Amino acid sequence: MDDQRHDDGRNDTSTEKLPGGGDGPPARPRPRGVSVLFFHRGGIEAMRLDPGQPGMVVGRRAPADLCIPDPVISQPHARFTFLDGYVLVEDLDSTNGTWVNRERIDGPAMLTPGGEAMLGNVSAHVVALGPVATPVLLGEAAFHRELEAELARAQCLNRNFAILAVRPSEAEIARARSGSWAMQLSASLRAVDRVHLCRPDTALILLPEASAEDAARVANAVAYGAGGQGGVRRVGLAVYKKTGSSAQKLVDRAREAAGRATLEHAVVDASTGRRSEGDVDLFDAPIIGASQRELFSKAQRVASARVPVHIKGETGVGKEVLARFLHERGPRAGKPFIAVNCGAIPSNIVERELFGHEKGAFTGADQPKPGYFEAAHEGTLFLDEVGELDPEVQKTLLRTLETRSICRVGATQETKIDVRVISATHRDLEAMVEGGQFRRDLYFRLNTIELEMRPLRERSDEIEAFVERFLRRANHENGRSVRGIAPEAMALLRAYSWPGNVRDLRNAIDHAVVLAEGDQIQLEDLPPSLLAKALPAGAEGAPLAVPPPDLAEKQATGRKLRSERDRTEAQLIKAALQETGGNVTKAAEQLGIPRGTLRHKIKVFGIKLPTR
């Protein structure tokens, strides 16, 4: 389907029951034929229907005319027939049903071009085949061919083009698993633009001959073009040469920028976006699962206020991420954000670190030095593990909050400061107040607004997104090319209780990426401590089903099989490259695999391209 032109979604999208008389369906131009695109968890399948052709059966396996390897599809599931300009849909007693207009059909139903049916949760879109030029939904090989051709033209003629990476809006998330949301993108694009669904929740868009300004306009149209569908899409923008001069770099930078986009800042320019750092990619958009939406909604309302905020949560849950969220969405965005771990500073120097000192204040104080409060002037000071401060420092901190001024150690005069304080701790400050370990008046000062972050074990819907983020960074930091994670390994990660929360998960992915032998993280690549201690979230003592005692033997057998497979695969790749004169695109087509996958395997196997 690489070169298949698809309907732009602006045709009539109504669906009707097969008429039994009366006026029947409204008159409309009859297409020469249609394609039906099936969006499922494993990708996209296409079926062409022409006039006079017998109906085609969709099922999970042969003898169905079109096989969709998805467990929700029955064998057989439904029949599609092109009839008098329309598509007749019939359910074949499937388990999960065939649905039109959100109703399960028990008889024939008719779809017009642009219409949609659901086979269980697999989306089927009817696309008219006609002469109208509309943006194209391309397969991977065709998209990269056009991208490379545009790059060559740009280099030769010294002109610009751009790549957009697009994530679906909240309202489109329900359809993200099937990828059908990408069919609506064409409404915001030009006829020359090209779309490729590289994964169910990410689309790439090639904008030929687009300046930075033109690309930004299109990016904003795409971001806010969900319209009646609701919500905002997140878009990453990469412009040649402003962002990069190679096709792959432009794609990578656009996808990274899309990961940093938020509802408030829906379009991120990869050439100016800040890089990530810290435990959970602090400058990336926070990963917000269903259990955290209310928290971040409250944080958004609090961000514009000046009052102190206290964040509760276990170690490693991402309290600093939430603190940065508050800073970046408030009036102090762009001003200093200073993060201080109070528990990591020796108690005998913590006061001068926070408030600064004058020359001669103590032995070795040869020069005056501002403290963290002064460094954060007009910005935000994040005091992590504030419960670790000793009573004397608590007293000084209280006075600073009340007077909005600091007095350096050894100074005689106070200095006015303008700082918003956000504090955090994994300890129970209220219990510490009752036990006399923390000042009650300081507790009330810090705790004007309290936000509580849930532990990762209660946010299992976020784990897959965290894994993808940490996998990308671990590959970059370790020079690896691991592309994904095996289903059984992901199942274990979802079930584990994560006592160290997000930081613990990051360490596990770092470990697995370094040890992985193939292009996927396998169960045996995960840390042994995780395999030994894995427990389902919320369970008490019930062990997760982990590898059996003979795991070592199974691992050895698995490695041997992978080695044999790799040798055979490398031989096939070398032969295809030799036959195509080193043309990777043609070799990928010959092998029947995506071009990006072939490039990855060439790198992994250390294959040298033959000279032409």
Average pLDDT for 200-204? 83
Is the pLDDT assigned to residue 29 strictly greater than 70? no
Are 140 and 185 in contact, with CB atoms under 8 Å apart?
no
Tell me what pLDDT residue 205 has.
93
466: left (phi over 0), alpha (psi -120 to 50) or beta: alpha
Please report the sign of the dihedral spanned by the C-alpha atoms of residue 294, residue 295, residue 300, residue 302. Answer: positive
Is the pLDDT assigned to residue 341 strictly greater than 80? yes
Tell me what pLDDT residue 277 has.
33
Which among 62, 98, 63 has a CA at the least distance from the CA of 80?
A: 98
SS3 177: coil
Is the pLDDT assigned to residue 386 strictly greater than 90? yes
Distance CA 7, CA 32 (A): 13
Q: Which amino acid is at 610?
A: P
Is the pLDDT assigned to residue 235 strictly greater than 50? yes
- The larger pLDDT score, comparing residue 273 to residue 404, is at 404
158: left (phi over 0), alpha (psi -120 to 50) or beta: left
CA 417 to chain centre: 39
Q: What is the pLDDT of residues 409-449, one digit of tens each?
A: 888 888 899 999 999 999 899 899 999 999 999 999 998 89
Tell me what pLDDT residue 129 has.
59
| 390-397 long-range Cβ contacts below 8 angstroms, 24+ apart | 390/347, 390/350, 391/439, 392/351, 393/347, 393/350, 393/351, 393/354, 394/438, 394/439, 394/442, 395/439, 395/442, 396/351, 396/354, 396/355, 397/354, 397/442
Helix-helix angle 140-157:247-260, to 10 degrees: 110
Distance CA 280, CA 313 (A): 15
Distance CA 256, CA 268 (A): 9
Instruction: To the nearest 10°, report the CA torsion of 208, 209, 214, 217.
Output: -10
Tell me what pLDDT residue 58 has.
93
Is the pLDDT assigned to residue 28 strictly greater than 50? no
Q: How many residues are listed for the chain in this entry?
A: 612
Q: What is the pLDDT of residues 39-97, one digit of tens each?
A: 776 667 778 888 888 889 999 888 888 888 888 899 899 999 888 778 889 999 898 89
Pairing of strands 116-119, 161-167: unpaired
- DSSP one-letter string for 286-314: PP--GGGHHHHHHHHHHTT--S-EEEE--
Domains and CATH numbers, the chain: 15-128 (2.60.200.20), 136-269 (3.30.70.270), 290-452 (3.40.50.300), 458-547 (1.10.8.60), 553-612 (1.10.10.60)
Tell me what pLDDT residue 411 has.
86
CA 398 to chain centre: 41
Where helices occur in 224-328 by DSSP H, the ranges are: 247-260, 293-302, 319-328
Q: What is the mean pLDDT of the chain?
A: 78
Tell me what pLDDT residue 134 has.
40
DSSP 8-state secondary structure symbol assigned to residue 412:
S
Q: Which residue matches tokens 């200073």?
A: 338
Is the pLDDT assigned to residue 136 strictly greater than 60? no
Are 159 and 101 in contact, with CB atoms under 8 Å apart?
no
The pTM for the full model equals 0.47
Average pLDDT for 244-264? 82
- Distance between the two ends of the chain, CA-based, in angstroms? 29
User: Buried (b) or exposed (e) across 199-232, using 16+ Cβ within 10 A?
Assistant: ebbbbbbbbbebebebbbebbebbbbbbeeeeeb
Tell me what pLDDT residue 441 has.
92
